[in-house]
Amino acid sequence: MGRFANSTDRSSGLEVVRDWNGVTQVVLRSPKGASARVSLHGGQVVSWKNDRGEELLFTSSKAFFKPPNATRGGIQMCFPQFGYSGTLERHGFARNLFWALDDEHAPINHNDNGSKVSVDLILKPSEDDLKCWPHCFEFRLRVFLSKDGDLSLISRIRNVNGKPFSFSFAYHTYLSVSDISEVRIEGLETLDYLDNLSHQERFTEQGDAITFESEVDRVYVSSPNVVAVLDHEKKHSFVIRKEGLPDVVVWNPWEKKSRTMVDFGDEEYKQMLCVDAAAVERAITLKPGEEWTGKMELSAVSSTNCSDHLDHPVSI
Ligand code: BG6
């Protein structure tokens, strides 16, 4: 923490703060006024704001904000398991653990021309973690904020074990939306999906863009690397670019499920949509010494410019 605390420098767009539980958070600020906030609890991105100060990620007003549970909202790191597909707690343990600043990299970076600011975090398993999942790994997470306010996450997971291991992964991303009934997703049309509401039965998406009128919990498989979430009322779209992450999980709990979630308001399903860049259908296997990389870049663009952004690949 010492070296990191000394790195706090508001003029460079970086600040280290503590939340009300005393947990370290790193705030990244772009020169134009956008910001992101990353917590060492879970490596979770707990806030991402545009240059007008508008929050782009959803966080529940009923969230617990108390470790060890991940805060309901933001971007959670689901590793080494997604959902209940294995023997671990839902979505794995990474989102509930305390991460550290990565000593092998400068703990806070901003590139020479100041166009990006970033922070590096690392998660290594403790003795207790190894009892639940006996595989030694290093999980490095770099979070960038560009000068235009785009948010990027790069995860690097290395097998430092003597034996191969397999895992699934997701950037569990709670987007803030004006009204779920007015939102549509483009880029997933005609794809196959596994429906978590029907024991992961496989279906093929038939419609045009995906719209919402009831609970949805699906894993779209082998998806393109760019997906857009259009929000007419907010007059902006989220463009999600990804690399190394073949699947997209789409989740909205709708009314009935919302009432069963203690850390989620009954009506809050209207203001959120989870769209996760993920590797779920096929586990990723790493041999000893191998490393996997998964990238996601989020941009919030004016709806009129959305189509211009859909052809660009991940820029990090
Ligand atoms: C989604 C899953 O990603 O996360 C859903 O597809 C799950 O099945 C949801 O209900 C929330 O999970 P949790 O563990 O954060 O309540």
Taking every pair of Cα atoms in the chain, the longest distance, rounded to a whole number of angstroms, is 55
* Pocket probe mutation, ligand 1, options 59, 88, 91, 248, max atoms within 8 Å of Cβ: 91
Would you say 121 and 140 are in contact if contact means Cβ atoms under 8 Å apart? yes
**Tokens 């690949």 -> residue:** 313
Ligand 1 lined by 251 (C-beta under 6 Å): yes
Find the 248 Cα to ligand 1 centroid distance in Å.
13
Q: How confident is the model at residue 13 (pLDDT cuts 50, 70, 90)?
A: confident
Owner of token pair 């939306």: 177
Helix ranges, 87-185 (H)? 127-132
Residue nearest to atom 15 of ligand 1 (CA): 72
Report pTM: 0.94
- Say what the pLDDT of residue 303 is: 77
What confidence category does residue 2 fall into, taking pLDDT thresholds of 50, 70 and 90? very low
For residues 288 and 162, the answer to whether their CB atoms sit within 8 Å is: yes
Residue 217: CB within 6 Å of ligand 1? yes
Bridge partners of 217, per DSSP, are 251
Asked if the model's pLDDT at residue 202 lies above 90, the reply is yes
Q: Which fold has domain 14-103+114-309?
A: Beta-galactosidase; Chain A, domain 5 (2.70.98)
Per-domain residue ranges of the chain: 14-103+114-309
pLDDT on residue 107 = 47
**How is residue 74 annotated by DSSP?**
S
pLDDT tens-digit readout, 81-134: 999 888 999 999 999 999 999 866 654 455 545 578 999 999 999 999 999 999
Residue 90 CA: which ligand 1 atom is closest?
A: 14
Q: Length of the chain in residues, anyone? A: 316
Q: Quickly state the pLDDT bin for 203 (edges 50, 70, 90).
A: very high
Residue closest via CA to ligand 1's atom 14 equals: 90
Cis peptide before 80 (omega within 30 of 0): yes
CA dist list (Å): 214 to 102, 266, 274 = 42, 14, 14
| 138 phi, psi to nearest 5 deg | -125, 125
Task: State the burial class of residue 242 (Cβ atoms within 10 Å of its Cβ: 0-12, 13-18, 19+).
Answer: buried
Q: Where are the alpha helices (DSSP H) in 99-209?
A: 127-132
Give the residue, by CA position, lying nearest to ligand 1 atom 9. 251
Digit-coded pLDDT (tens) for 17-43:
999 999 999 999 999 999 999 999 999
**Amino acid 3: pLDDT:** 38
Q: Atom of ligand 1 at shortest distance to CA of 82?
A: 3
pLDDT of amino acid 113: 55
175-214: b (≥16 Cβ within 10 Å) or e: bbbeebeebbbbbbeebebbebeeebeeeebeeeebebee
**What pLDDT was estimated at residue 306?**
66
pLDDT band at 193 (very low <50, low <70, confident <90, very high): very high
Residues 208, 210, 216, 222, Cα dihedral to 10°: 80
Per-residue pLDDT, 1: 40
Tell me, what's the pLDDT at 314?
72
